[in-house]
Chains A and B, each alone.
Chain A
Amino acid sequence: MSKKDRMSGNEAVAYAIRQINPDVMPAFPITPSTEIPQMVSTYIANGEMDTEFIPVESEHSSMSAAIGAEAAGARSLTATSSAGLALMWEELLLAASNRMPLVLALVNRTLSGPININCDHSDSMGARDTGWIQIYAENNQEAYDNFIQAYPIAEDKRVHLPVMICQDGFITSHAVENILLEEDAAVKEFVGEYNPEEFLLNPGKPIAVGPYSISSYAMEARYNQELAMENSKEVILEVAKKFKEKFGRGFELFEEYRTEDADYIMLIMGSAAGTAKQAVDDLREKGMKVGVLKLRVFRPFPAEEIAMALKNCKAVAIMDRTESYNGHGGPLASEVTAGLYRSKVMIETVCYTYGLAGRDFTVETAYEIFDELKDVAENGKKVKQHRYIGLRSKERS
């Protein structure tokens, strides 16, 4: 039986970690994810779980220790944000290339500068090509549910890749909201015991992890890693299906909210998707056919599936909560439009950058964007393909 409760996103992830009771958690604190290791160490101190908690001196070390523990045969994880993720950079790539199924609870916070502690996706988006699976949450419930699905995805033989479970810093990590929690035994049963086939601390079956590779092998190894990422798509869907059968809450690679007959669709990730859904309901009442495509799984990137989901609309707003400094939009802008082109879906797109460093994204902002999409599609309004929304400017946008 699910239990109705209320807690913040950080509490929800810590609660899931307690239920899963992984073997090893090395961590170093950084706002806004600090509460996760703090709460986990409290659970450990209270005897509610027996994970080996390793306080380390930096995130470079926390990810290194997590990789080492995982290679040794222990189910491991860590948590971080922003500059902490940046300091893990080299190890993120190693975790993936060594095919370590560890999990990272990421609480999204902007990367400097200007130095700032609030939410945007520049940390995880900067790490988008490190070979990690990335799953984003709209609220505390999804952060909890996604975390429970993380190990079954990562540890599947077809995958063996690390998984980053992302939620928006402060916006969901520190907001108390309603949540449905599952029973400890049910969560443990769903996640299962970790029985790696090959691991370092396995007497009589020696292995070496992460050996130097000359050019004759490294490219093949990378290709195999890419194949594992492609395979993970079906595994993510299978795990989501099992999750729905057990707990009743369904997940896909992305959620299509009132898009079936929509003329205008907003493609967005994270907590702002909820705000956009409210705007959709309000505008639908006024007769405007609008919808939201909330991307849940950013890596692997479901390019073709997104193109198919968007093909019948007139225009789509692609919403990036980070800047790529490339002159034509953020990562979603680039990858979604590339996906549309390859599938020969020639709809209008406008790429918006929003919510940087904690800039609020409101229902009114979403109205404004839908109105602009309509203007583009119906009146041929010319807009810049790469637009900032919610920006102070002398130029009236």
Chain B
Amino acid sequence: MNNQGIEIRWHGRGGQGAKSAALLLADVAFKTGAHVQGFPEYGPERMGAPITAYNRISNNEIRVHSNIYFPDLVVVVDETLLAAVDVTAGLKEDGAIIVNTAKKADEIRPLLNGYKGKVYTVDARRISVETLGKYFPNSPMLAAAVAVGKVMDTDLFISEMRASYEHKFAKKPEVIEGNMKALTKTIEELGEVL
């Protein structure tokens, strides 16, 4: 994150947790003392329909209250959106895009309307199933957004997320470890390409 801060756009489908991931990211970035904004673009709630959510994270006060048209980072929580939504619209060439897919970045790039910046892929389904036993893409994608966007130190991220999950899942402690593993595994796997 440079001094101007970072602007992130999330693409997901209703019900997958992209909005929750954006709000969680705002929450965890706040712990670093940063100014944060996390908000979804609202319409009637429809399961499975494309949705967009946003984050602004900055060392300065954030006053802008518009959507983000020129993001530094785009996170695509559902691979099928690549065919339905222009996910790289306005994405800065020196920015990056992260796609949830089992494919390699080279295989995804041709689907990105000629985008020339960095492309990362995260196999959130495999990571999620291996660590949580179920498909919840938002923990891996959140970890990927933090690592690729250099939102905060990843060790601090991990410790803050543990505190956050312990609070959030106080009544379901059995899911905490799985979620923590999903985060660390994503960061480890990304470590090889970053």
Direct interface between A and B, CB < 8 A: yes
The total of interchain contacts (Cβ-Cβ below 8 angstroms) comes to 67
Task: Say yes or no: A277-B38 contact (C-beta < 8 A), given A176-B27, A178-B30.
Answer: no
B36 is an interface residue with CB less than 8 A from chain A: yes
When the two chains form their complex, are residues A139 and B35 in contact, meaning their CB atoms are under 8 A apart?
no
- Expressed in whole angstroms, the Cα–Cα distance for A176 and B53 within the complex equals 12
When the two chains form their complex, are residues B66 and A361 in contact, meaning their CB atoms are under 8 A apart?
yes
- Expressed in whole angstroms, the Cα–Cα distance for A118 and B36 within the complex equals 22
When the two chains form their complex, are residues A139 and B42 in contact, meaning their CB atoms are under 8 A apart?
no
**Chain A, 170-190, contact with B by CB distance < 8 Å: what is the 0/1 string?**
111011111000000000000
Shortest CB-to-CB span from B96 to chain A, Å, is 23
A312 is an interface residue with CB less than 8 A from chain B: no
B19's closest neighbor in chain A, by CB? A174
- Expressed in whole angstroms, the Cα–Cα distance for A177 and B36 within the complex equals 5
When the two chains form their complex, are residues A175 and B65 in contact, meaning their CB atoms are under 8 A apart?
yes
When the two chains form their complex, are residues A362 and B69 in contact, meaning their CB atoms are under 8 A apart?
yes
When the two chains form their complex, are residues B64 and A363 in contact, meaning their CB atoms are under 8 A apart?
yes
When the two chains form their complex, are residues B65 and A32 in contact, meaning their CB atoms are under 8 A apart?
no
Instruction: Chain B residues near A171: list those with CB within 8 A.
Output: 39, 65
When the two chains form their complex, are residues B36 and A6 in contact, meaning their CB atoms are under 8 A apart?
yes
- Interface residue ranges of B24-45 to A (CB < 8 Å): 26-27, 30, 35-40, 42-44
Instruction: Chain A residues near B23: list those with CB within 8 A.
Output: 176
Instruction: Chain B residues near A361: list those with CB within 8 A.
Output: 65-66
When the two chains form their complex, are residues B30 and A6 in contact, meaning their CB atoms are under 8 A apart?
yes
- Expressed in whole angstroms, the Cα–Cα distance for A176 and B35 within the complex equals 10
When the two chains form their complex, are residues A277 and B65 in contact, meaning their CB atoms are under 8 A apart?
no
**Chain A, 351-383, contact with B by CB distance < 8 Å: what is the 0/1 string?**
000000010111100000000000000000000
Instruction: Chain A residues near B62: list those with CB within 8 A.
Output: 177-178
A58 is an interface residue with CB less than 8 A from chain B: no
**Most chain A Cβ neighbours within 10 Å, of B36, B37, B39, B63:** B63
**Most chain B Cβ neighbours within 10 Å, of A6, A274, A275:** A6
**Most chain B Cβ neighbours within 10 Å, of A117, A177, A271, A361:** A177
When the two chains form their complex, are residues B38 and A117 in contact, meaning their CB atoms are under 8 A apart?
no
B16 is an interface residue with CB less than 8 A from chain A: no
Contact of B42 among A32, A272, A360 (CB under 8 A): A32
When the two chains form their complex, are residues B43 and A275 in contact, meaning their CB atoms are under 8 A apart?
no
Shortest CB-to-CB span from A10 to chain B, Å, is 12
Shortest CB-to-CB span from B167 to chain A, Å, is 14
Chain A: interface residue count, which band?
20 to 34
Shortest CB-to-CB span from A108 to chain B, Å, is 13
B67 is an interface residue with CB less than 8 A from chain A: yes
B27's closest neighbor in chain A, by CB? A6
A279's closest neighbor in chain B, by CB? B64
A278 is an interface residue with CB less than 8 A from chain B: yes
B66's closest neighbor in chain A, by CB? A362
B61's closest neighbor in chain A, by CB? A178
- Interface residue ranges of B1-35 to A (CB < 8 Å): 23, 26-27, 30, 35
Q: How many residues in B have their beta carbons less than 8 Å from beta carbons of A?
A: 21
When the two chains form their complex, are residues B36 and A170 in contact, meaning their CB atoms are under 8 A apart?
no
Contact of B26 among A6, A117, A274, A358 (CB under 8 A): A6
Shortest CB-to-CB span from A136 to chain B, Å, is 13
B40's closest neighbor in chain A, by CB? A174
When the two chains form their complex, are residues A363 and B66 in contact, meaning their CB atoms are under 8 A apart?
yes
When the two chains form their complex, are residues A170 and B27 in contact, meaning their CB atoms are under 8 A apart?
no
Instruction: Chain A residues near B26: list those with CB within 8 A.
Output: 6, 176-177
Contact of A275 among B40, B65, B69 (CB under 8 A): B65
When the two chains form their complex, are residues B39 and A175 in contact, meaning their CB atoms are under 8 A apart?
yes
Instruction: Chain B residues near A363: list those with CB within 8 A.
Output: 64, 66
B30's closest neighbor in chain A, by CB? A6
- Interface residue ranges of A148-187 to B (CB < 8 Å): 168, 170-172, 174-178
**Chain A, 18-40, contact with B by CB distance < 8 Å: what is the 0/1 string?**
00000000000000100000000
- Expressed in whole angstroms, the Cα–Cα distance for A228 and B69 within the complex equals 46
Contact of B36 among A172, A178, A278, A360 (CB under 8 A): A178
Contact of A274 among B35, B40, B64 (CB under 8 A): B64
- Expressed in whole angstroms, the Cα–Cα distance for A274 and B44 within the complex equals 26
Shortest CB-to-CB span from A82 to chain B, Å, is 13
- Expressed in whole angstroms, the Cα–Cα distance for A178 and B58 within the complex equals 11
B37's closest neighbor in chain A, by CB? A177
Instruction: Chain B residues near A272: list those with CB within 8 A.
Output: 65
Instruction: Chain B residues near A168: list those with CB within 8 A.
Output: 65
Contact of A178 among B35, B42, B65 (CB under 8 A): B35
Task: Say yes or no: A172-B37 contact (C-beta < 8 A), given A6-B30, A117-B42, A118-B42.
Answer: no
Shortest CB-to-CB span from A16 to chain B, Å, is 20
Instruction: Chain A residues near B67: list those with CB within 8 A.
Output: 360, 362
With A178-B62, A360-B66 already in contact, 8 other A-B pairs whose C-beta atoms are closer than 8 Å: A118-B43, A170-B39, A171-B39, A174-B42, A175-B37, A175-B39, A176-B37, A275-B64
Seen from chain B, the residues whose Cβ lies within 8 Å of a Cβ on chain A are 23, 26-27, 30, 35-40, 42-44, 61-67, 69
Seen from chain A, the residues whose Cβ lies within 8 Å of a Cβ on chain B are 6, 32, 117-118, 138-139, 168, 170-172, 174-178, 271-272, 274-275, 277-278, 358, 360-363
> What are some 13 contacts across the A-B interface (CB < 8 A)?
A6-B26, A6-B27, A6-B36, A170-B39, A174-B39, A174-B40, A175-B39, A176-B26, A177-B26, A178-B36, A178-B61, A360-B67, A361-B65
Nearest first, the 8 A-B pairs at minimum CB distance are A274-B63, A175-B39, A271-B65, A362-B66, A6-B30, A176-B38, A176-B26, A170-B42
